[in-house]
């Protein structure tokens, strides 16, 4: 019986301890929450201020050096874009000096002899450059040179208007070729007529000479030729009643 009583007392004691623990343990947690709420209310807002630190003289010098090196590198990169061959940087000043010397020599040559710019084909046009041109020329009337075609066509037209086949020569069956040389001066006047080769019939020769004289004056010589006299050699053909000038 005594043992049962002791066991009951112990159990009751343990139960009492557990009850007290459940009652008093929550108190510290509630008080802790109250303290935390008080701290949050009393806490002031936190502000952060950044203080700019001034660079030292050594840092300034280093920044300038880096900026200069970057500028030089960009300039070299831009220069390389204009040259297809990238050589050593030490050679670039030499190339620049050579270019300057070449430009200087070219400018000097242009100043000393500006006529080098003028094409040779244009030096014979007008002015004192025509001093070496001949004042007289001898040309065949049947030339195919483009320079004379238009002018000689006018001469032939004027002669053909007055040139005839002598009726006596036609009746006698006379035919042949008369070779004449006649000279026209710069204003178109006829200066001279010469018989170079006879046709063998005086009537045919005289008619050719008469026609050349009767067709004068002729058109003035073109100024671009620079001639004072033009000697023309022509052939006057008589063929069975037909007349051909060559």
Q: Tell me: the pLDDT tens digits for 28-55?
A: 545 556 666 665 566 555 555 555 566 6
Instruction: Select the more confidently predicted residue: 232 or 77.
Output: 232
Burial class (CB in 10 A: 0-12, 13-18, 19+), 7: exposed
- Report domain extents, the chain: 132-245
What pLDDT shows up at residue 196?
97
What pLDDT shows up at residue 231?
97
Instruction: Catalogue the long-range contacts made by 142-151 (C-beta closer than 8 Å, 24 or more residues apart).
Output: 142/234, 142/235, 142/246, 147/225, 151/219, 151/221, 151/222
Judged by DSSP in three states, 166 sits in coil
CATH class of 132-245: alpha beta
pTM: 0.47
Burial class (CB in 10 A: 0-12, 13-18, 19+), 119: exposed
Given a cut of 60, whether residue 118 has pLDDT beyond it is no
Lookup: tokens for 56:
């030292």
Mean pLDDT of 84-110: 55
CA distance 42 to 27: 23
Q: Tell me: the pLDDT tens digits for 185-223?
A: 999 999 999 999 999 999 999 999 999 999 999 999 999
Percentage of the chain lying above the pLDDT 70 cut:
51
CA distance 209 to 211: 6
Instruction: Select the more confidently predicted residue: 7 or 176.
Output: 176
124 pLDDT band, cuts 50/70/90, is: very low
Highest-pLDDT range among 62-71, 104-113, 230-239 = 230-239
CA distance 234 to 156: 10
């Amino acid at each position: 019986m005594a043992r049962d009583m002791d066991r009951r007392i112990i159990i009751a004691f343990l139960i009492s301890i557990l009850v007290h623990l459940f009652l008093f343990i929550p108190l510290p947690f509630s008080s802790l929450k109250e303290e935390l709420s008080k701290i949050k209310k009393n806490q002031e807002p936190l502000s952060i201020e950044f203080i700019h630190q001034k660079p030292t003289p050594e840092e300034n010098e280093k920044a300038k050096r880096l900026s200069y090196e970057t500028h030089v590198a960009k300039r070299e990169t831009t220069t390389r874009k204009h040259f297809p061959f990238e050589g050593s940087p030490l050679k670039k000043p030499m190339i620049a000096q050579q270019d300057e010397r070449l430009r200087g020599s070219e400018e000097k040559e242009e100043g000393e002899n500006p006529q080098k710019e003028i094409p040779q084909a244009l030096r014979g046009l007008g002015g004192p450059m025509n001093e070496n041109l001949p004042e007289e020329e001898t040309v065949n009337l049947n030339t195919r040179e483009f320079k004379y075609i238009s002018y000689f066509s006018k001469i032939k037209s004027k002669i053909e208007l007055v040139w005839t086949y002598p009726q006596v020569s036609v009746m006698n069956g006379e035919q042949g070729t008369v070779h004449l040389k006649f000279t026209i001066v710069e204003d178109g006047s006829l200066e001279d007529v010469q018989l170079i080769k006879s046709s063998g019939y005086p009537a045919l020769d005289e008619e050719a000479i008469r026609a050349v004289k009767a067709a004068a004056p002729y058109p003035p010589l073109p100024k671009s030729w620079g001639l004072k006299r033009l000697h023309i050699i022509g052939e006057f053909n008589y063929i069975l009643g037909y007349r051909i000038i060559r």
